[in-house]
């Protein structure tokens, strides 16, 4: 039997009086709304934690990529000092696609691909959906979708990412759109992890 219910279900409804039944019916809406309030509060907590975790993971991946690049540059400089002939960059396959550690592996879905775009130093600025469509392919995301279909899918993925605070929206004039603003039309997007130091998304 269910516990912690807002009503006493130990008494069979068939034994309730008309007054008791009427009183219970009047409270049904309030009982349901109280439960919905609890659900919304729980979702806010979950979304906040999920957003924080994903933001930190994205930042860690971006940091790891910069470490790898710095390591390659330093090794190349060191080899140059020793007069060692440069060998092909480790991890680059015959057709030019680099092999990377698991935490920088090819994106598994479009949302992950979009976030991965901004982990690249060459994509440090806000991008349009058309620019993102080209960018996700350049980092290894594979799709057979037509351009229009891919753009539509990107818009859907961006809407979800913006909702949890992982991506920031921008107007055509370059101004940031408040997360509570549902009327302004976004022209460009940027990962929250790419915001300039000291700038906080509203």
Confidence of residue 78 (pLDDT cuts 50, 70, 90): low
Contacts of 86 (CB under 8 A, 6+ apart): 76, 79, 80
Comparing 7-21, 64-78, 80-94, the range with the smallest average pLDDT is 80-94
Q: Work out the pLDDT band at 83, boundaries 50, 70, 90.
A: low
71 lies in which domain range?
16-88
C-alpha–C-alpha distance, residues 123 and 65, integer Å: 13
pTM over 0.75: no
Bigger pLDDT: 172 or 84? 172
CATH code of residue 128:
1.10.10.10
Q: Does the structure show a pLDDT above 50 at 90?
A: no
Are residues 120 and 193 located together in one domain of the fold?
yes
- At 158, the pLDDT band (50, 70, 90 cuts) reads very high
Residues 24, 58 share a domain: yes
Q: 164: how many CB neighbours lie within 10 A of its CB?
A: 17
Number of domains making up the chain:
2
Neighbours of 129 (CB within 10 A): 19
- Mean pLDDT over each residue of the chain, to the nearest integer: 78
Residues 115 and 159 in one domain: yes
Residue 181 has pLDDT above 80, yes or no: yes
Given 54, 88, 122, the domain boundary residue is 88
Q: Can you give the pLDDT at residue 178?
A: 87
pLDDT band at 123 (very low <50, low <70, confident <90, very high): confident
What does the pLDDT look like over 12-65, one tens digit per residue? Answer: 888 888 988 888 888 888 888 888 888 888 888 888 887 788 778 878 888 888
Contact 187, 128 (CB under 8 A): yes
Three-state SS for 11-49 is CCHHHCCHHHHHHHHHHHHHHHHHHHHHHHHHHHHHHHH
User: pLDDT at position 96, please?
Assistant: 44
Half-sphere exposure of 159 (CA within 13 A, CB side): 8
């Amino acid at each position: 039997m269910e516990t912690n219910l807002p009503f006493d279900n130990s008494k069979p409804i068939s034994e309730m009086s008309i007054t008791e039944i009427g009183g219970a019916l009047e409270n049904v809406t309030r009982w349901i709304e109280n439960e919905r309030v609890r659900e919304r509060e729980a979702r806010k907590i979950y979304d906040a934690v999920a957003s924080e975790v994903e933001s930190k993971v994205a930042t860690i991946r971006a940091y790891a990529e910069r470490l790898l690049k710095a390591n390659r540059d330093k090794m190349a400089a060191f080899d140059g000092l020793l007069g060692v002939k440069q060998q092909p960059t480790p991890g680059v396959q015959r057709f030019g696609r680099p092999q990377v550690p698991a935490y920088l592996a090819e994106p598994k879905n479009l949302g992950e691909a979009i976030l991965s775009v901004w982990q690249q130093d060459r994509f440090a600025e806000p991008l349009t959906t058309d620019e993102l469509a080209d960018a996700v392919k350049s980092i290894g995301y594979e799709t057979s979708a037509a351009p229009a279909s891919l753009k539509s899918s990107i818009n859907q993925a961006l809407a979800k990412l913006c909702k949890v605070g992982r991506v920031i929206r921008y107007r055509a004039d370059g101004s940031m759109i408040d997360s509570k603003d549902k009327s302004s039309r976004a022209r460009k997007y940027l990962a929250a992890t790419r915001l300039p130091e000291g700038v906080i998304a509203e």
